[in-house]
Amino acid sequence: MSQVHLRASLALIGDDLRAVRDVCVTVDDDGVVESVEGWGSCPWDSAGGTWAALLPQPANAHVHSADGRFPEFGVDLGLHELVAPPDGLKYRLLSTLSPTETALDIWRTYRAAYELGVGLLVDFREGGGLGCLAAQRARSMVPDMDVLVLGTPGPSFPGWCQGLGLSSPLDYSEGVLRALTSQLRPSFTHVAEDPENRREGDLEVALRAGFTAIVHGTHLSRDDLQAIAERGVALVMCPRSNMWHGLRPPPVADAISLGVTLGLGSDNAAWNLPDPWGEAEEAMLIARSQGLRGAPAAVLEALMVGGYRAAGLEPRTVEEGRKLHAVLVDAYSTGILSAADTASAIIRRARAGLALRADGSRLAYLSKAGIY
């Protein structure tokens, strides 16, 4: 195996995602970034070119993967009818699948995420340890994408689970919750997705129990968000899911202005492709509608850095000395190279130009044809 060189007119470098023009990234035999230099150092047969932007692989920090077996089911139903355990439509549908079918359907979601350039997918798995086992079987077929499998109490739990993912902290006593969160890290739970759960104090229970991250937060106030920020608890927002289920938009602007660590997730694969780019665009539009004009840079950070940090992992950012995990995007045709605001352009346009992903020295051309 020999060195790999990638040439791009634009690259986002480091955890601060600083935009650098005209770069040549050299990757050594171990897949580690050896240098980031001017593109004059690139040989003629480098991957990429003047058309390209080199971007970190984004994180999708909240997915329910097996739902993808049932796309667009129950479009006339509300949130609780669709997903409330144990009798929501999705649970009844999932119960009809064999373990092999479940693993294959999870793999289909993972493959779709891989083709969208995703570097990390945080999967909430139903069905206890056996549900996590199905995800681990699927995960083995996408080795270049990190998958964090979070489980919920059930058969063989916590076997094969890499952390905790609960539908609601209100489903358990606080003693049980504290035992679970002390044993399983990271620990995520849905919080304040609807007004009923918020009125019952789900955030306070989650904070007392020591969860490392909460998901949705649709009905959190500024005071709630301040409390989250002060405790260092991450918030994963799923704006497309919230809108689809008839909920109000999440408080993106307040969360950004208060310095909350933000990630983005696509939620149920039945109703959303596992596409964090779409979540980022929706979050940016919501922030603008909520009066925050400086949102693009913060939303880009949530997409490419915050989701990893919510999961307790190092971001897959491009930097010398780190293994390369990146995507090459056609930034010429999509207008990114000539855009007045680079962060906004990447959020809104990169998905349409996804061309190549690089994982170490392995290069894979991306084709969204055939996804789902």
Tell me, what's the pLDDT at 62?
98
CA proximity to 33, closest of 372, 317, 353, 331: 317
Which domains are present in the chain? 4-56+316-365 (2.30.40.10), 59-310 (3.20.20.140)
SS3 34: strand
The alpha carbon of 74 is separated from its chain's Cα centroid by a whole number of angstroms, namely 24
Cα dihedral 358/34/332/345 (nearest 10): 80
DSSP letter string over 204-248?
A: HHHHHHT-SEEEE-TT--HHHHHHHHHHT-EEEE-HHHHHHTTPP
Handedness of CA 180, 181, 185, 190 (dihedral sign): positive
φ, ψ of residue 348 in degrees (nearest 5)? -90, -20
DSSP letter string over 92-110?
A: HHHTTS-HHHHHHHHHHHH
* Angle, in degrees to the nearest 10, between helices 99-115 and 128-139: 50
Give the up-direction half-sphere exposure of residue 134: CA atoms within 13 A in the CB hemisphere: 27
| DSSP H or E stretch at residue 309 | helix 307-310
pLDDT in tens, the chain (372 residues): 578 999 999 999 999 999 999 999 999 999 999 999 998 889 999 999 999 999 999 999 999 999 999 999 999 998 989 998 888 998 999 999 999 999 999 999 999 999 999 999 999 999 999 999 999 999 999 999 999 999 999 999 999 999 999 999 999 999 999 999 999 999 999 999 999 999 999 999 999 999 999 999 999 999 999 999 999 999 999 999 999 998 999 999 999 999 999 999 999 999 999 999 999 999 999 999 999 988 999 999 999 999 999 999 999 999 999 999 999 999 999 999 999 999 999 999 999 999 999 999 999 999 754 443
What is the Cα–Cα distance from 20 to 34, expressed in whole angstroms? 17
Tell me, what's the pLDDT at 368?
58
